[in-house]
Structure 1
Amino acid sequence: MPTPNITPGSPCWIDLMTSDPAKAQDFYTQLFGWTYETGDEEKYGGYIVASKDGKMVAGLMKNDSQSGYPDVWSTYLRVEDINAASEAAAANGGQVYLPPMEVPEQGYMGMLGDASGAAVGLWQFGGHTGFQVHGEPGTAAWHELHTRGYDAAVKFYQDVFGWQTEVLSDTPEFRYSTLGSGDDAVAGILDASADLPEGAPSNWQVYFGVDDADATVAQALALGGQVVREAEDTPYGRLASMTDPTGAMFTIMQQPAAAAPGA
């Protein structure tokens, strides 16, 4: 599994804020085969790093009952200057939810609200340089913004993160842009204004690769998860959306089978 080449502005890390870390660890271990290492409580607040086959793929942290936030998966984008990125976000219609802070020996993190209100993390590399494997079964495979403010969101990521976007579709039924193009695309922005439930904010969704979407759905249900969107075939693979046992939402993606040579 090659280490991903994570360019500035691209997704570089994901983590889960969970009200029950032990339950979450058990769920994702059985679903994706993850193992864990818990960081020093004083230095890192007990932050848990999840690995797949010995390579770091995600983080987990305790969602304090006083936070007022639901359990949620977050996507972080790589930035080279986190202070400049935070200032640019505020100047382009965003909000700074968590000002840049140093994570000792690892790098710098922050959290923004984009121009459509979706929360997105920032990470400036230090000792920690993002996920070590991506796009394989049991690891993050895609990152997607579901937004109520599509035009504002696309411009925000262009202006703040330097995204070179490509319009995949621009019909009234389906508006979608990607960061990068074709097989080199690493994230997407979906106009979800007609699809998000009433009261649900714009949000980033994490997609995980799996070998068998239907088997993974069945296993997740047996482990206490819930199905949000049943498995269905799409041009991008067989997809299903669900929540883990404490309600954090994610999507699974079974890649389409490769065509046989000469087919």
Structure 2
Amino acid sequence: MGRVIGFELNSQEPEKAEEFYSNVFGWEIAEAQWDYWPVTTGDSVKPGINGGIGKGPNDYPHGIRIQIEVDSIDEAVAKAKDNGAMVVREKMEFAAFYLAYLVDPVGLGIGLIQNK
């Protein structure tokens, strides 16, 4: 079962979003790397779902995407396409995981993550 493990808040003014969510909700926001600010929304006593704030790319300039962990990103992408999803970013490789972005049949953006 794929489970939601994170989120992305995309904005063309990520610094303004970072300030808002930090001030209003007390989220801990780390220094940016590649126009992406990692976000912690909880602690060991009351955990939350962590994510990030990023400068939205051309294919998703504004909006929120959940990130869903899958066992096999290739199988999940294929199954999603068979069920009407559109791939907006093919599988990308990072040090600890693979990531792909899709839009589901009703237009909602999602990210798929497979840990290495």
Question: TM-score scaled to structure 2, two decimals?
Answer: 0.82
The answer to whether residue 57 in structure 2 is matched with residue 176 in structure 1 is: no
Structure 1 residue aligned with 2:86: 226
- Quote the offset at 1:219 in angstroms: 1.1
2:62 to 191, 202, 205: 202
Unaligned 5+ runs, structure 1: 1-136, 257-263
TM-superposed CA distance for 1:201, in Å, is 5.2
Please, which of 76, 100, 105 is the counterpart of residue 216 of structure 1? 76
Match of 1:188 among 29, 40, 52: 52
1:176, 1:225 → 2: CA distance? 25
Runs of 4+ in structure 1 off by over 3 angstroms are none
Residues 92 and 100 in structure 2, CA contact (< 8 A), matched pair in contact too = yes
Instruction: From 12, 19, 26, give the equivalent of 1:148.
Output: 12
- 1:157 aligned residue (9, 14, 21): 21
TM-score (norm 1): 0.38
Deviation at 1:236, TM superposition (A): 4.2
Aligned equivalent of 1:242: 102
Amino acid at match of 1:178: P
SS in 1 for 2:27: coil
Q: Which moved more, 1:208-217 or 1:247-256?
A: 247-256
Please give the alpha-carbon distance, in whole angstroms, between the structure 2 residues aligned to 1:175 and 1:248.
Answer: 22
Alignment-mate amino acid for residue 18 of structure 2: V
Q: Spell out the pairing of 1:1-263 with structure 2 (5 A cutoff).
A: 137-169=1-33, 174-180=34-40, 186-192=50-56, 195-197=57-59, 202-256=62-116
Shift of 1:246: 2.4
Q: Identical aligned pairs, as a percentage?
A: 28
Render the CA deviation track for 1:31-84: whole Å, top value 9, x for unaligned.
xxxxxxxxxxxxxxxxxxxxxxxxxxxxxxxxxxxxxxxxxxxxxxxxxxxxxx
Mapped to 1, the partners of 2:112 and 2:50 lie a distance apart of 16
Shift of 1:154: 0.7
Tell me which structure has the larger Cα radius of gyration. 1
Gaps of 5+ in 2: none
For the residue of structure 1 that corresponds to 2:31, the secondary structure is strand
Output the amino acid matched with 1:219: K
Cα offset, 1:247, TM superposition: 2.3
Aligned partners of 2:74 and 2:21: how far apart in 1? 34
RCO higher in 1 or 2 (8 Å CA, sep ≥ 6)? 2
